[in-house]
Amino acid sequence: MSPAKKNVRRKKIKPSPKKRLSKLQIGLLATGLVLLFPLFFVIKWTTELPNYRELERIKLASNIKVMDRNLRYLGTLPVTLPTGVRIDRDIVELQNISPYLPMAIVTSEDRRFFQHYGVDFIGLARGLMKIVMGDRLEGGSTITNQVIKNTLLTELSTGRTLERKFKEWILSVQVERYFSKDEILTDYLNVIYLGSGGYTDLIGVDMAARGYLGKSAKNLSLAESVYIATLIPSARRYFDYPAYRPLMKNLLSRMVEDGRITQQQANAAWKEQIHPAGWQVRYDRDGNLSEAELVNAKAKNLRPNRNTYASHFMQQLENQLKDVLPSNAFTADGGLKVVTTLDQQAQNAIEQSSRNARVPDGATLGAAIVDPYTGDVRAMVGQKLDVFSREWNNAAQSRRQVGSSIKPLLYATAIENGYQQYHTELDAPVNYACAGCPGGNYSPKNFSQTSTGRETTLRSALDQSLNLPTVRLADRIGIDTFKNKLQDLGFEVQGNEGLSLSIGTLESNPLKMALVYASFVNGGQLFTPNYVLKVENSQGQVLYDAENHRSKGKKVWTAQTAFVMWDMLRGVVYDRTGGLARSAQISGRLVGGKTGTTNDVKDLWFVGVTPELAGAVWVGKEEGGAMPVNSYSGVIAAPIWHDMMAGALSGKPYKNIARPAGVTYELHAGYRMAVVHDTPPPAEETAQTPQTQPETQPQTQPETTTEPQTTEETTDPATQDDGTMLVIIDSTTGYLADPSTVLENRLERRIRKEDLDKFVKPEETPEVQPETPEVQPETNPETQPGATVEEVPIDPSTPPSAETIPEETPAEDPGLQNPDQNNLDQPQGQTAPDDLTGTLNQ
């Protein structure tokens, strides 16, 4: 440092004096913060207020009359408030309630009800004084406040918080300005909680009157009305009648003070001997209890006093009505008449099948029936129905893995991409690289944990629900191709699923699955569910007509693909190598369907179609737990489906599926299969080239030889008895097969019954010859996989006849030109074995 700089003296900079806030400024700032802090919450809570006009929806429970599709009255529409509170009981109007009961309740709960405007400031002041004096906080809550708490603020109803009280006050003032006192009081009398009734809560004074006193609210005396009113603060008072009996005298005295009754009426009411349900009581001549004992606490229990018929359907109906009608339509004078898609016959059948369903302990179910040609929902049940079932709708709200019921969707995707149902895949163990799988490999297995090591046709793989050929097929056509198709069908696909998607990791619900399977019988159209046909107001004016909003559906399959899959689904029900769905057969009806079981037996499915209706059943535990390992979809879900569909179809007109152009029948692997000819894959899918063209692969098994077919032939063996029968021929001799005939040489043929003798071996003895046509299959398919099937009717117990199967006409099937033609046809099935456990699969 230079000397010159050393001699320079630096001036010390004095710090500026600190500015201090005056006490006045500090006080103003603190006051501002104190005011801003609650102001923040006031603004926040105000913006969170629900719409007070939603209370109008309470009276909808009696204001909307619901009819089925045939104009049969079903009941009134239960409604759900925005908070989730469900009003599923008929609302009782004031004129149907004893006049003593509202008077007793007003005196007990809100003496100034007819004077205040929602908030009783005198009652609030009285409550604050009690707090200052150290007493317990009570009072200050008006009847209007309680209506708000029990309907619009249920999420805050369990505690006395500043937020709840603020919202109650604001909403109460709004409600008082919009609704009359009688409307508010009616709402209160219908939503107040008055204890447990066993199977259901006692909600509203009418249910309470029926539970505690065995009569309607309209028939209550003054004494009985006072008794009900004393239970409102705490329904547990029922269990100690002697202790709370004096409260009745106190309430009668206050009613006299309020001028609602005379002293003479009060004295007479006190001496009236009332008998609460379950109590054994005796009174003296002054009205005092001399003896009281609770002998049956369950005597007050009621069966649900709700609109329980088709309750899960009604939930979905309410949602759709919100979408198709303006909000003011719901509150119009005179109410509404809603004609729904529900078929009462089908609903009765589905509810009865739910009640009768034999499901594993702790399991419930969901089921739906739809019209394949419109998407109209004909019936729905969301639970295993018992005396009281939950509101959760497993038919439409759940998301459960579908198991092997997804396989027809994969096979249809393959058909759409140029494969045929006689295409073969190897039924043998296989490994795929999988980064997220144990050991880095995905190794699927068949449900039986075994495999044949043979090439298996797609039809046979679907019949037996084999996983190994299915996963190989998914790999062949490309899992992304399948994912795209599932998204096209409206399923939620996450995008990171692997090949396991092809055997059932997709999640869905019975309603969606029924609609997707319906596309196999309606020519490939996918419809959205519909619940409403028509809505009229009290003047008969049509507010909504579904016919003006009908769509043709979304085209998801070609008509040829849909028909081939319908043919394959029937195979699952009727083919001799099947067995998984034999319990779904309905006498006199064509049935196709598929079972489904997920890992650890968490879900059991059956999804099926007929030309008239489509339906699906899911069975499982709502919380997702495993069921017993011996629970099978073919034994549990399929019979439920059979019962509900048979009941829904009983007496209904018979339909058949017309074979589209480009589809013929061919014989492959012993089965008559629908085959697509001269119909290229859809343009958008031509880029997805299969790794191997299955049509050019030579069939290694002798029975895969295709025989020429005529385009005129479309007679389905399940539709009528045409004088032919199905037999098994030994291809090496041309005669009927016998137990010594090896599997590779067995060939199914349909012959005229009068020609049977021509196919009998000449050397057979007379004792054996007559028995050959009547040979029945072994009851255990594992020990006798090639058991012959000579003649198999639709229903094992009822041979097809003119009485059991309506005769189809050429108009129903354009290809039915020569019904007398001797032709090959599809086998119809066989009697289910006594023990299905050997063949059950996913």
Residue 294 sits at φ, ψ, to 5 deg, of -85, 110
CB neighbour class for 563 (10 Å; exposed up to 12, middle 13-18, buried from 19): buried
Please give the C-alpha separations between residue 87 and each of 19, 77, 318, in angstroms, as whole numbers: 65, 9, 12
Q: What pLDDT, on a 0 to 100 scale, did the predictor assign at position 756?
A: 66
Record: fold of 349-426+455-530+551-649:
Beta-lactamase (3.40.710)
Cα–Cα distance measured from residue 191 to residue 147, given in angstroms and rounded to the nearest whole number: 7
Cα–Cα distance measured from residue 710 to residue 561, given in angstroms and rounded to the nearest whole number: 20
Following DSSP, what letter does each residue of 149-179 receive, concatenated?
HHHT-GGGTTS--HHHHHHHHHHHHHHHHHS
Q: What pLDDT, on a 0 to 100 scale, did the predictor assign at position 91?
A: 79
Following DSSP, what letter does each residue of 598-628 receive, concatenated?
-GGG-EEEEEEE-SS-EEEEEEE-TT-----
Q: What pLDDT, on a 0 to 100 scale, did the predictor assign at position 136?
A: 53
Tell me the CA end-to-end span of the chain in Å, nearest whole number: 94
Q: What pLDDT, on a 0 to 100 scale, did the predictor assign at position 307?
A: 57
**Residue 344 C-beta-side C-alpha neighbours within 13 Å:** 12
Take residue 88 and report the two structure tokens written for it: 């599923």
Cα–Cα distance measured from residue 95 to residue 511, given in angstroms and rounded to the nearest whole number: 42
Q: What pLDDT, on a 0 to 100 scale, did the predictor assign at position 677?
A: 87
Of how many residues is the chain composed? 842
Q: What pLDDT, on a 0 to 100 scale, did the predictor assign at position 436?
A: 79
> Each residue of 757-792: b (16+ CB within 10 Å) or e?
eebeeeeeeeeebeebbebebeebbeeeebbbbbbb
Cα–Cα distance measured from residue 259 to residue 264, given in angstroms and rounded to the nearest whole number: 12
Locus of tokens 């005011």: 35
Q: In the chain, which stretches have pLDDT less than 70?
A: 1-23, 25-27, 29-30, 32-49, 51-54, 57, 59-62, 80-89, 123-140, 154-164, 304-308, 331-333, 387-389, 577-579, 678-728, 737-758, 761-842
DSSP H or E run through 516: helix 510-518
Locus of tokens 């997709």: 506
Q: What is the DSSP letter of 376?
A: B
Cα–Cα distance measured from residue 110 to residue 140, given in angstroms and rounded to the nearest whole number: 8
Q: What pLDDT, on a 0 to 100 scale, did the predictor assign at position 32?
A: 65
Cα–Cα distance measured from residue 123 to residue 113, given in angstroms and rounded to the nearest whole number: 11
Cα–Cα distance measured from residue 574 to residue 448, given in angstroms and rounded to the nearest whole number: 21
- The contacts of residue 162 (CB under 8 Å, 6+ apart) are 41
Cα–Cα distance measured from residue 520 to residue 501, given in angstroms and rounded to the nearest whole number: 21
Q: What pLDDT, on a 0 to 100 scale, did the predictor assign at position 12?
A: 58
CB neighbour class for 2 (10 Å; exposed up to 12, middle 13-18, buried from 19): exposed
In single-letter form, the type of residue at position 727 comes to: V
Q: What pLDDT, on a 0 to 100 scale, did the predictor assign at position 176?
A: 85
**Are the C-beta atoms of 432 and 468 separated by less than 8 Å?**
no
- The contacts of residue 530 (CB under 8 Å, 6+ apart) are 320, 341, 374, 375, 376, 377, 546
Residue 179 sits at φ, ψ, to 5 deg, of -105, 155
- The contacts of residue 108 (CB under 8 Å, 6+ apart) are 229, 230, 232, 233, 251, 254
Q: What pLDDT, on a 0 to 100 scale, did the predictor assign at position 263?
A: 96
Q: What is the DSSP letter of 712?
A: T
CATH 1.10.3810.10 fits 89-300, yes or no: yes
Cα–Cα distance measured from residue 557 to residue 496, given in angstroms and rounded to the nearest whole number: 25
β partners of residue 75: 66
β partners of residue 665: 674
**Are the C-beta atoms of 229 and 244 separated by less than 8 Å?**
no
CB neighbour class for 699 (10 Å; exposed up to 12, middle 13-18, buried from 19): middle
Cα–Cα distance measured from residue 735 to residue 761, given in angstroms and rounded to the nearest whole number: 6
Q: State how beta strands 336-340 and 532-537 pair.
A: antiparallel
Q: What pLDDT, on a 0 to 100 scale, did the predictor assign at position 49?
A: 66
Between the CA atoms of 570, 576, 580 and 586, what dihedral angle is there, to the nearest 10 degrees?
Answer: 50
> Boundaries of CATH 3.40.710.10 in the chain?
349-426+455-530+551-649
Q: In angstroms, how far is CA 545 from the centroid of its own chain?
A: 25
Q: What pLDDT, on a 0 to 100 scale, did the predictor assign at position 83?
A: 59
**Are the C-beta atoms of 526 and 515 separated by less than 8 Å?**
yes
Take residue 250 and report the two structure tokens written for it: 């106190």
Taking only the tens place, the pLDDT of each residue in 97-148 is 999 999 999 999 998 898 888 777 776 666 666 656 665 555 568 888 888 8
Cα–Cα distance measured from residue 93 to residue 198, given in angstroms and rounded to the nearest whole number: 25
Q: What pLDDT, on a 0 to 100 scale, did the predictor assign at position 694?
A: 34
**Are the C-beta atoms of 369 and 376 separated by less than 8 Å?**
no
Q: What pLDDT, on a 0 to 100 scale, did the predictor assign at position 833?
A: 29
Q: What pLDDT, on a 0 to 100 scale, did the predictor assign at position 810?
A: 31
Taking only the tens place, the pLDDT of each residue in 432-461 is 988 878 888 899 999 888 999 999 999 999
- The contacts of residue 804 (CB under 8 Å, 6+ apart) are 587, 588, 794, 795, 798
> Boundaries of CATH 1.10.3810.10 in the chain?
89-300
Q: What pLDDT, on a 0 to 100 scale, did the predictor assign at position 437?
A: 82
**Are the C-beta atoms of 593 and 477 separated by less than 8 Å?**
no
Strands (E) located in 383-531: 400-401, 424-426, 432-433, 441-442, 455-457, 507-508, 525-526
